[in-house]
Amino acid sequence: MDLFKWHMISERWMLQSLQDYQTERIRYVKEMYLKGAKYCLYVHSYLHYGLLAARADILKVVKDSGNPCILAGYHGPYNYGGESYNASASPSVSSIKDCRRVAFKALKGMDPGMAGGGGDGQKNLFVASFFFDRAAEAGFVDPNLPVAKVHTVDFEDAPKRACETRLEDAKSAYPSVDEDNLPYLCMDLVFQFTLLVDGFALDPWQDITLVKKVQYRNALVEAAWPLGSAILCPRQHT
User: What pLDDT, in 10s, does the model give residues 32-72?
Assistant: 665 676 655 555 555 566 789 899 999 999 887 789 999 99
Answer yes or no: are the C-beta atoms of 121 and 106 closer than 8 Å: no
Task: Pick the more confident residue, 2 or 136.
Answer: 136
Count CB neighbours of 136 within 10 A: 19
Per DSSP, the three-state class of 85 is: strand
Per DSSP, the three-state class of 75 is: strand
pLDDT at res. 33: 62
Q: Residue 8 is inside which H or E element, if any?
A: strand 3-9
pLDDT above 90 coverage of the chain, percent:
45
Give yes or no for residue 9 having a pLDDT over 90.
no
Answer yes or no: are the C-beta atoms of 113 and 98 closer than 8 Å: no
The 3-class SS string of 38-55 reads EEEEEEEEECCCCHHHHH
Give yes or no for residue 144 having a pLDDT over 80.
yes
Region for residue 43 given its phi and psi (left: phi exceeds 0; alpha: psi -120 to 50; beta: otherwise): beta
Task: Assign 122 a pLDDT band (cuts: 50, 70, 90).
Answer: low
Mean pLDDT of 178-205: 93
Could you tell me what percentage of the chain is helix, strand and coil, using 3-state DSSP and rounding each to the nearest 5?
A: 40, 25, 35
Mean pLDDT of 118-133: 72
Give yes or no for residue 199 having a pLDDT over 90.
no
In CATH, which superfamily holds the domain spanning 3-236? Exopolyphosphatase. Domain 2 (3.30.420.150)
Give yes or no for residue 187 having a pLDDT over 50.
yes
* Residue-range domain boundaries for the chain: 3-236
Amino acid at 200: F
Mean pLDDT of 108-136: 67
Which residues, 6 or more positions from 226, have their beta carbon under 8 angstroms from its beta carbon?
Answer: none
Give yes or no for residue 232 having a pLDDT over 90.
no
Q: Residue 223 is inside which H or E element, if any?
A: none
User: What pLDDT, in 10s, does the model give residues 17-28?
Assistant: 444 444 444 555
Amino acid at 141: V
Give yes or no for residue 140 having a pLDDT over 90.
yes
pTM greater than the 0.85 cutoff: no
